[in-house]
Amino acid sequence: MLEKRQFYIDGQWVDPAIPNDFHVIDPATEEACGVISLGEQADTDAAVSAARNSFQSWANTPLDQRVALIKKLGDIYSARRDEMAEAIRAEMGAPIDLARNSQWGAGGWHLSGFLQALEKFDFEQKMDADRIRTEPIGVCALITPWNWPMNQVVLKAIPALAVGCTMVLKPSEIAPLSSLLFAEMVHEAGFPAGVFNLVNGDGAGVGSQLSAHPDVDMVSFTGSTRAGIAITKAAADSLKRVSLELGGKGANVIFADADEKAVKRGVIHCMNNSGQSCNAPTRMIVERSAYPHALEVAKATALATEVGPTTESGRHIGPVVSETQFNKIQGLIETGIREGATVIAGGLGRPEGMNKGYFVRPTVFADVTPEMTIYREEIFGPVLSIIPFDTEEQAIAMANDTVYGLTNYIQTDDDEKRLRVARQVRSGMVETNGVGRVQGSPFGGYKQSGNGREGGKWGLEEFCEVKAISGVPIG
Ligand code: NAD
C-alpha cells in the first residue's frame, strides 16, 4: 500500500501541519491502496504563499523557457505511462487497458493540443494605437474530480503553467494518487520552486479554504454542480474568477435515418468508464418508428457489456468509484423502477458472480418519461434511459429539457437536419454521427454544466487577464 502523506509545496515534499490520515480505496477490491493526509488551513496557506512568491518571476520567464519545461514534463509523462496507468486503475477503478489508453492518453492529448495552440497564441496584439496584452491571471487553485483524473489535471495545470500562472492543485481526495505522481513529474521536469504546488484535502477543508482564500486569483474547478455552487459562493467575497466544468445529462437524438451502428455506439459510449463521464449520452431520444428496434439493440449491447476486474486486460468496464456512488446508483435504479420505467437490461445489485467491489450491472431503462428522476438527474453510473419522440421540434425540446447543457449528440444521415438540430440544442458541445471533437476544440457547458471552456486556445485564455495599454508608441 502506497503511503504518501506529504504535500508538494515550494519545490519540495513537506509533512502536513497536522497528520490526518485518509485511506484511498481501490473500488474493485474495497481495500485501501494508499494513505494520504488531508491538509489543514496552514498547509493551504503555505502552498498559496509559495505560489504567490513565485508568481512574478514565473510570469516574466520567457515563453520559450516555459514551453521547454512543459515539453520535458510531456516526455516524462510518456516515459512513466505504466506507473500513471496503475495509479489511475487503483484509485478510481478503470480497467488497466482503459487506464493505459484513454485515461492516460487524454492527458498527453491535451498537453500536445496546448503546445499547438501556443504556437499561434498572441500574447500581445495591436488595436489601432493601443496594445492589447494577454497576461497571466495570477495564483490559481485547481480543484479536480476523480473520474478522468489526468484529463482534468492536464486541462488545468498545463495552460496555467504555459501562460505564466502559478498554482495549487487539490485533486479529489478519492483519487489523489495520479496527481501525486504528476507532482513528481513536475519536480523531475525542473519547474522553479513554488510554481506548482499540491495539497491534498477534501472539499470542506482545503477545497473551501482555496475557494475563499484572499490571495488566490482564480479557481478552476471540475466536479459536481453542487460543489460548483458552493465554490462560487465561497469565492464571492474576494470576487476571484471562478471557472466551472460541471455535470451533464447529455441527450443522444437518434433519427430513424441514422446509421445502423448509432444505437450500439450510443450504448457503448454511455457505459464507457462505467458511466462516469460528465459528457456521457445518458438520455437516448429515439424517433418513434425506430424505437422498438433501438430497444432490442440497446438491450443486446448492454447484455454484451462485460464487467470485470481492473487488473485484467480487455474492453470490459470496471466498478464505479466508491461505496457512496454505488449506493447512489442503486437508489436511482430503484427509483426508476418505482416511477414506472421498464428495465430491459441489468438492474439492481452486482453482476452475477460478483460479491465484492463496487460493480454495477450495465442497465437500460425503456418507457422513460421526462418527469422521471432517472431522466432528469445525473446518475454517473452505467445506466441509460431511452425515450421515443415524434417530431424534430419535440426532439429538440426534449434535449433542452434539462438544467444541464454539456454535450448533446445527434444521429441522422441528413446533413442539413444534423446542422439544424445542432444549432438549436443548448449545450457547449454537439457531437454528431459518432465523430469526436478535434484536438484543441473547446470543452465546456451551458447552463448548470458550467461556464468554462477548456483545451486549446480557449483553455489558455481562461487563465489570462486582458490589459489595454494606450499612449505608448508601437514601433
Ligand atoms: P465533487 O464535486 O464531489 O468533487 C470534485 C472536487 O471538488 C474534489 O476535489 C472535491 O474534494 C472538491 N470539492 C467538493 N466539495 C467542495 C467544496 N464545497 N468546495 C471546494 N471543493 C469541493 O465531484 P466528483 O464526485 O469528484 O466528480 C463527479 C462530478 O464531476 C460529476 O457531477 C461530473 O459530471 C462532474 N464532472 C464534470 C466534468 C466537466 O468537465 N464538465 C468533467 C468530469 C466530471
pLDDT at 475 over 80: no
Q: What is the rounded radius of gyration, in angstroms, for the C-alpha atoms of the chain?
A: 23
Q: What is the mean pLDDT of the chain?
A: 98
pTM of the model: 0.98
Give the atom of ligand 1 at the shortest distance from the alpha carbon of 450: 41
Beta bridge partners of 466: 134
Catalytic option among 245, 378, 431, 454: 245
Residues with CB under 6 A from ligand 1: 143-148, 170, 172-173, 202-203, 207-208, 211, 222-224, 227, 230-231, 245-248, 278, 378, 380, 406, 445, 449-450
With bands split at pLDDT 50, 70 and 90, how would you rate the model's confidence at 442? very high
Bridge partners (DSSP) listed for residue 342 = 366
At 277, list the grid cell: 463521464
CA atoms within 13 A on the CB side of 320: 24
Is-catalytic flag, 278? yes
* 33, 165, 270, 278: the active-site residue: 278
Query: Does 61 score more than 90 pLDDT?
Result: yes
Over residues 294-350, the pLDDT tens digits come to: 999 999 999 999 999 999 999 999 999 999 999 999 999 999 999 999 999 999 999
- What mean pLDDT comes out for the span 282-290? 98
396-431: per-residue pLDDT in tens?
999 999 999 999 999 999 999 999 999 999 999 999
Using one digit for the tens of pLDDT, what is the confidence trace for 177-195?
Answer: 999 999 999 999 999 999 9
Separation CA 45–CA 77 (nearest Å): 29
Report the distance separating Cα 213 and Cα 317, nearest Å. 39
Q: Return the half-sphere exposure (C-beta side, CA atoms, 13 A cut-off) of residue 452.
A: 29
**Could you identify the atom of ligand 1 that is nearest to the CA of residue 225?**
32
Amino acid of residue 163: V
Residue 474 pLDDT level (bands cut at 50, 70, 90): confident
340 phi/psi in degrees, rounded to 5: 105, 5
Handedness of CA 350, 354, 358, 360 (dihedral sign): negative
3-state SS of the chain: helix, strand, coil percent to 5?
Answer: 45, 20, 35
pLDDT score at 1: 83
pLDDT (tens digit per residue) in 220-242: 999 999 999 999 999 999 999 99
Q: How far is CA 305 from CA 121, 203, 276, 315, 327, in A?
A: 43, 34, 15, 9, 21
Q: Strands across the sheet with 166-170, in order? A: 12-14, 7-9, 196-198, 166-170, 139-143, 218-222, 241-245
| pLDDT recorded at residue 105 | 98
Q: Is 245 a catalytic residue?
A: yes
